[in-house]
Amino acid sequence: MPNFNDILVLLPEFYLVAAACLLLLLDAFMKPEQRGLLHWLSIAVLLVAVYLVVAGQPDGTATAFNGMFVRDRVAEILKVFALLCTVLVFVYARPYLADRKLFVGEFYTLAIFAVIGIMLLVSAGNLVTVYLGLELLTLSSYALVALNRDSPLSSEAAIKYFVLGALASGMLLYGMSMVYGATGTLSLAQLHGAAAHSAMPNLLLFGLIFMIIGIGFKLGVAPFHMWIPDVYQGAPTAVTVFIGSAPKLAAFGMAYRLLESGLGDLAQHWQLMLAVLAVLSLAIGNLVAIVQSNLKRLLAYSTISHMGYLLLGLVNAGPEGYAAAMFYAISYALMSTAAFGVILALARAGFECEEIDDFKGLNQRSPWMAFLMLLAMFSLAGVPPLFGFFAKLLVLQAAIDANMLWLAIVGAVFAIIGLYYYLRVVKVMYFDKPQDGVRLEVQQDVSLRWMLSLNALLLLVLGLCWGPLLGWCRAAFGLVSA
């Protein structure tokens, strides 16, 4: 039976479930012209959740429901940034959804349920909790991708996402069943010690391989990346910006819980697997992105390469590497929201602003938007002194510390190759003439313009003052005093 302490430990999650249900009820009785109230209520709900996560965070590690749920510093950081990224998504999405008659309550409630899945996933202390959080996140994401029911492209993307996601979830579950069969426990804490003394090591390794496949799909690393380009392009851009940000934090949390908390004793086996996936992701992501003409597909392949860099941190299999990987996941989430935010700011009814050519001459028409996009592109490319540069530097250092100098060299080479397609977007904005017949108009929504400006400028500020955030990430893994 749950006790009062269990409820306190899960207070942010219980609060969000109750709030999401209340928003569903409100939406049922609201008139279409009152939908703006639901928008601001949803943002308020998320900000209160941020407060509950931070204010209620215990000094050490707290568990609930017999260790099925873990509340620690790692979960705190990931939850805070997942909630803040979702707030940004809500602000950016409003004018886009209103223009396309998609401004419905389902968008907000599904996104909040997805965030609850993220929060469960990053706090998982049991294989059952991992799967529960993962399914809550993915099922909500499938519905979000299919939000525009009148678009064949969105429906096709949702079906592909669902089929491949179901396959990956099945493989993950199959791997979990093998691990349970080899160790006799579902608890990640007990699994950590039992894995090294399992009577069936071969079964355990097979389970590990299937779990790596599941993690690879959720991260979107090659060769499990097939869904990313089609989903990014086919989903409404307001949904794409969500899928490309907060769930990446969840994927890192899932990888950390399963690989370190659960199967840390098998690090010598999964380190090489992750290294191979990292190389494939860096190669496919960067090389295929070069030939893309659609900006959303370019950013999709860019995501694949960035998840390859995140794996460089995980390959380290130590606190320094995990801190670097978490720092990278946070930086990517903020960079992704900024890049897609500019697309949303320039899109309008009948014009999606998805092609790279649509950005021709943007500097002549809206210098400020061009500058914000420049910050996002340069940060994604890892140009100093922006946020993305230091994130890349840290994961490359983590790979070197893991005695994988060759892997760090591969990462550095592909960082230079990746610079090309990011610079191509900047060149189009600043040096090409505006395209005939294309009128670029910036959304007049004040909240969007201010939050987008803050988001993009934060990439510069954090690039110059990244120490406190890195210190917070390091403290989560016990490297420095909190």
Provide the pairing of β-strand 62-64 with 69-71. antiparallel
| Residue 481 located in a structural domain | no
CA distance 364 to 292: 24
| Residue 108 located in a structural domain | yes
* Residue 344, token pair as written in the block: 């949303």
pLDDT (tens, 9 = 90+) of the chain, 482 residues, equals 567 777 888 889 999 999 999 999 988 888 877 788 898 999 999 999 999 999 877 777 888 888 888 888 999 999 999 999 999 999 999 988 888 888 888 899 999 999 999 999 999 989 999 999 999 999 999 999 998 888 888 889 999 999 998 999 999 999 999 988 888 888 888 887 777 677 687 888 888 899 999 888 888 888 888 889 999 998 999 999 999 899 999 999 999 998 887 787 788 888 899 999 999 999 999 999 999 989 999 999 999 999 999 999 999 888 899 999 999 999 999 999 999 999 998 888 777 788 888 888 888 888 899 999 999 999 999 888 889 899 999 999 999 998 899 999 999 999 999 999 999 999 999 988 876 666 667 777 788 889 999 999 999 999 888 889 899 899 888 876 44
Tell me 60's DSSP state: S
| Residue 262 located in a structural domain | yes
What is the distance in angstroms between the CA of the first residue and the CA of the last residue of the chain?
Answer: 33
Bridge partner list, 126: 187
Among all chains, which residue has been given the structure tokens 């390859």? 308
Give residue 112's pLDDT. 94
Amino acid, single-letter form, for residue 434: P
Give residue 134's pLDDT. 92
CA distance 369 to 348: 15
| Residue 188 located in a structural domain | yes
| Three-state DSSP state, 62 | strand
* Residue 22, token pair as written in the block: 């209340």
Give residue 352's pLDDT. 78
Domain that residue 229 falls in: 4-476
Other Cβ atoms less than 10 A from the Cβ of 10: the count is 20
| Residue 400 located in a structural domain | yes
Amino acid, single-letter form, for residue 464: L
- Of 479, 459, 461, 460, which Cα lies nearest the Cα of 471? 479
CA distance 103 to 349: 13
Give residue 482's pLDDT. 41
Instruction: Please state the domain count of the chain.
Output: 1
Give residue 437's pLDDT. 60
Q: Contact 308/277 with Cβ under 8 angstroms? A: yes
**CA 372 from centroid of its chain's CA atoms:** 21
Alpha-carbon separation of residue 264 from 196, 259, 307, 314 (angstroms) = 9, 6, 21, 11
Among all chains, which residue has been given the structure tokens 């779990």? 211
Other Cβ atoms less than 10 A from the Cβ of 293: the count is 10
Give residue 191's pLDDT. 84
**CA 166 from centroid of its chain's CA atoms:** 19
Give residue 318's pLDDT. 86
CA distance 194 to 181: 12
Residue 265 burial class via C-beta count within 10 angstroms: exposed 0-12, middle 13-18, buried 19 and up: middle
Tell me 184's DSSP state: S
| Residue 482 located in a structural domain | no
- Of 381, 373, 304, 319, which Cα lies nearest the Cα of 341? 373
Greatest alpha-carbon span in the chain: 70
Q: Contact 386/458 with Cβ under 8 angstroms? A: no
Q: Determine the number of helices (DSSP H) and then strands (DSSP E) in the chain.
A: 21, 2
Give residue 481's pLDDT. 46
